[in-house]
Amino acid sequence: MSWFRRPTPEYITISPPQQRERIGKHVWHKCEACGTVLRRKEWENNWKVCPVCGEHDRITADERLRLIVDTDTFEETNANLVSNDPLKFVDTKTYPDRIAAARQKTGRNDAVITGRATIGEVPVSLAIMDFAFMGGSMGSVVGEKIARTMELALAEDRVCITLAATGGARMQEATLSLMQLTKTAQLCRKMQETDTPFISILTDPSTAGIMASFASLGDLILAEPGAYVGFAGKRVIEATIRQTLPANFQTSEFVQEHGFIDLVVKRSEMRGALITLLRQIRHMDPLPIEEEPATAE
């Protein structure tokens, strides 16, 4: 039946499927929420937020630094802390192999970046989690770095800010991971007793053990729109109570309606909101409003 086929004109180039997919992903981004196809550069410059439906995609810890921190003020702390393998944990691969793969993928030693910085000229002690590193799970190193972030805020009279992006405690470290929940919660109490301000920011997802510790203990709790916020998963809860939960259950908006979150703030407005809050906390005059919202470029 070859006489029904037209020859391909010389000026048309048909790429193999795998090459077309590679080129397409490099140039275009399809929003998983509404299906809108956007130029990838435009989407990235908008901090990976869909301009049509407002879907907030996940971003890295480095991108969050550029989003909220004053330029050239971030000084990283405890960057060289690394996890060991005291339990010799093995599932489909060894724990050291998982750590090595996560390091290669993200370019950092564990699932949180910590350090000093200023936001709106206000000194802060900052911890930003990265979901790309083993689901933002909290093991001994993550817990220790967050604890030291709080201790830095106490020692230098800085506002403590944490940004959660996590699936919870790290199962490969078992009880050693769960101990970090108590450690961070105790330091939250100490900050409260010494009037050291603590702002907790919840991003997608913010779940499980970390929501049972420091992430839920901020003096102010902010969240991004549509972020998944909760302890147990929706399906687990439905199976336990044998009821169908609302479609928006465990979104940041639902949690705010029930009094747990103070503010839901768009990503593009997060820096401005933090500057306003921080300067009010420190009784400083407001800064002039920026004429144009910052881009990720």
- Confidence (pLDDT) at 2: 52
- Put residue 266 in one of left, alpha, beta given phi > 0 → left and psi -120 to 50 → alpha: beta
What DSSP letter does each residue of 45-85 carry, written as one string? HTTTB-TTT--B----HHHHHHHHSPTT--EE-STT-----
Residue 200 pairs in a beta bridge with: 162, 221
Cα-Cα-Cα-Cα dihedral of 85, 86, 91, 95, to 10°?
-10
62 φ/ψ angles, rounded to the nearest 5 degrees: -65, -40
- Confidence (pLDDT) at 191: 97
What percent of the chain is helix, strand and coil (3-state, nearest 5)?
40, 20, 40
10-residue mean pLDDT series, the chain (297 residues): 50 49 71 89 90 90 94 95 90 92 93 96 97 93 96 98 94 91 96 97 93 95 95 88 90 94 96 95 78 57
Question: Of 136, 270, 255, 130, which is closest to residue 199 (Cα–Cα)?
Answer: 270
- Alpha-carbon gap, residue 156 to 182, rounded angstroms: 23
- Confidence (pLDDT) at 13: 45
- Confidence (pLDDT) at 8: 47
- Confidence (pLDDT) at 289: 58
Which pTM does this prediction carry?
0.86
What DSSP letter does each residue of 245-296 carry, written as one string? PPTTTTBHHHHHHTTS-SEE--HHHHHHHHHHHHHHHTT-PPPPPPSS----
- Confidence (pLDDT) at 86: 86
- Alpha-carbon gap, residue 233 to 235, rounded angstroms: 6
Q: Report CA-CA distances (Å) from 54 to 37, 43, 48, 205, 223.
A: 13, 11, 10, 17, 14
Single-letter code of the amino acid located at 156: E
Q: Domains in the chain, ordered, with CATH?
A: 15-57 (no CATH), 58-281 (3.90.226.10)
- Confidence (pLDDT) at 295: 65
Contacts of 213 (CB under 8 A, 6+ apart): 180, 181, 182, 184, 185, 188
- Confidence (pLDDT) at 19: 52
- Alpha-carbon gap, residue 176 to 138, rounded angstroms: 10
Kind of pairing between the strands at 229-230 and 198-207: parallel
- Alpha-carbon gap, residue 37 to 230, rounded angstroms: 30
Question: Of 274, 6, 264, 294, which is closest to residue 119 (Cα–Cα)?
Answer: 274
- Confidence (pLDDT) at 11: 40
| H/E run at residue 106 | helix 95-106
* Cβ count near 1 (within 10 Å): 4
Residue 138 pairs in a beta bridge with: 169
